A and B are shown apart, each in its own frame.
Chain A
Amino acid sequence: MNRLELKNASIAYGRQPILQAIDLQIQEGEFFSLLGRSGCGKTTLIKAVAGLLPLYAGQLLLNGQDAGNLPPEKRRASVLFQDVRLFSHLTAEDNVAFGLRMQGMGREQRRQQANAMLERVGLGGLGQRAVDTLSGGQQQRVALARAVLPGPSILLLDEPFSSLDMELRTAMRALVKSLHSHMRLTTLLVTHDVGEAMLLSNRVAIIDDGRICCCAAPRDLLGDPKAAPYLSAWKDEIRAQSNLLGE
């Protein structure tokens, strides 16, 4: 069971509220996206779910248990940040195996699992490379492999594709979708890219002015008048992309 629930949650920097009265439920194995303009508090929400920021008010439940006071290491919420945050003193293999090392797994076993995961993300044979000798796309794959290998309770994706070019972005989206399907990872993606959210997600919520203004499946969201002002600029693009995917 890997279920996330936020009840009337508010998050603030000091006394300045960033997000207010956030209510959302992400079911086990669901791919959920939060859509919002830059600076609307998406990363803040990711950090709060990961335990890197405290809730100002409200409740955060993981699998029905109050997790608001749990430290990050107890939440098992892996984050893939936009700036990848690879550990530059470690090889690609050691980066991927980091979570397993923290779980106390033996060296040989975690090496095997890390290399199998690297193979799975298309980086077989690159395990011994220093991470800063890898290309941007390869670094993103290493960071994704590192995030999913420990078997997180929830995978948090903080605009992970926004710095990639279109070709890499498409490849990474496909990889994330494939890992999500195969591992049944409960996933929360925050993005300002409407097409990305619509293509990848089971449900999408839109944050505006520090609150969730609407939440629905992508196709339903297109007909939601509350989402219309936000989506109008992208509607044609979304329809075109949906048609391409035969949805």
Chain B
Amino acid sequence: MRRVMLWLCAAAVLLPVALLALYAVCARWPWPAPLPQSLSLRGIQALLNADVRGTLLSSIGYSLGSALLSTLIALPAARAISFYNFAGKRAMRAVLLAPILLPSTAFFIGLQTLFTRLGIINTALGVMLAHIMVILPYPIWTLCDMMQSVGRTMEEQARTLGASPLRAFSAVSMPLLLPACVSVTALGFLISFGQYFLTLMIGGGRVKTFAMLVVPYIQSGDRMLSAAFSFAFILAAGTVYGVMDAVLRKHSGARPPTRGSLV
């Protein structure tokens, strides 16, 4: 039974992707023909265009940068929330949840107004900062859970063995948090890579990401091109995710991690 469920789940994910791959090379597939009537490489040729490749690479760069920075910001924030009492802690928790709790349009318009005043509208910096703000609640709350699970007792033990506070964190807590850090970075990458509306509002069309290329094709009704771009979108996201998982497995220490694995 478990095996059947597993196959059903795999089919639910893989069949639409396979169909997308087929549509990407299918020039004509009229109803009710069971198979495509003619194939074409027009979609793949469009993907191999230098501009598209450049946009794909820069988009991966923006998303990876946003995700990494989010994780770096989230680490001390999660530690502060988990282990310290300070004035305004409750307010800070609410503010950190704002990007999830507020309607996204209202939040994005607010960001656009703020970034216009700051002079970073229509810039790559503005887009990345906006992506970081959308991503940030996820790594913070995930790392809060992990920090509380790891606790401070291990760091205390390390300090009694001669480790400075920083060394205790880097030698003891960080390796235990690393799987979760890689997981949230991968998640942040996916959130950022899929942003269309926010990128359009903050980047003003001048900062192009891959999602901004995909959406117009989908809206245009050109099924072959929209399928090819959508498939490339999934492939790029999946590849970066896969590479992160491989890195995590390779550097997970003496044994495979039992917590925080991507798969």
Contacts and interface: CB of A to CB of B under 8 A. Distances in A.
B162 to A, nearest CB: 4
A148 B172 CA distance: 19
A102 B153 contact: no
Interface in B149-194: 153-154, 156-165, 167, 171-172, 175-176
Contacts of B162: 73, 76, 99, 102-103, 150
A130 B255 CA distance: 7
B33 interface: no
A77 B162 CA distance: 9
Contacts of A77: 160
A32 interface: no
Interface string A81-112: 10101011111001000110111000000000
Interface residues of B, number: 20
Nearest to A104: B162
Interface of A: 50-52, 71-73, 75-79, 81, 83, 85, 87-91, 94, 98-99, 101-103, 130, 146-147, 150, 156
A130 B254 contact: yes
A35 B247 CA distance: 50
Given A52-B156, A89-B253, A102-B167, A146 B175 contact: no
Interface of B: 153-154, 156-165, 167, 171-172, 175-176, 253-255
Given A87-B172, A91-B254, A79 B164 contact: no
Contact of B160 (A72, A83, A88, A90): A72
Nearest to B167: A102
Nearest to B253: A89
A52 B161 contact: no
B253 A150 contact: no
B163 A73 contact: yes
A52 B161 CA distance: 12
A156 B159 CA distance: 14
A147 to B, nearest CB: 8
Contacts of B156: 52, 72, 85
A79 B172 contact: no
B157 A79 contact: yes
A89 B176 contact: yes
Contacts of A89: 175-176, 253-254
Nearest to B257: A89
Contacts of B159: 51-52, 71-73
B254 A90 contact: yes
Given A85-B154, A87-B154, A50 B160 contact: yes
B72 to A, nearest CB: 21
A51 B159 CA distance: 9
Contacts of B165: 71
22 contacts: A50-B160, A51-B159, A52-B156, A52-B159, A71-B164, A72-B160, A75-B160, A76-B162, A78-B161, A83-B153, A85-B157, A87-B154, A90-B253, A90-B254, A98-B158, A98-B163, A99-B161, A102-B162, A102-B163, A103-B162, A147-B161, A150-B162
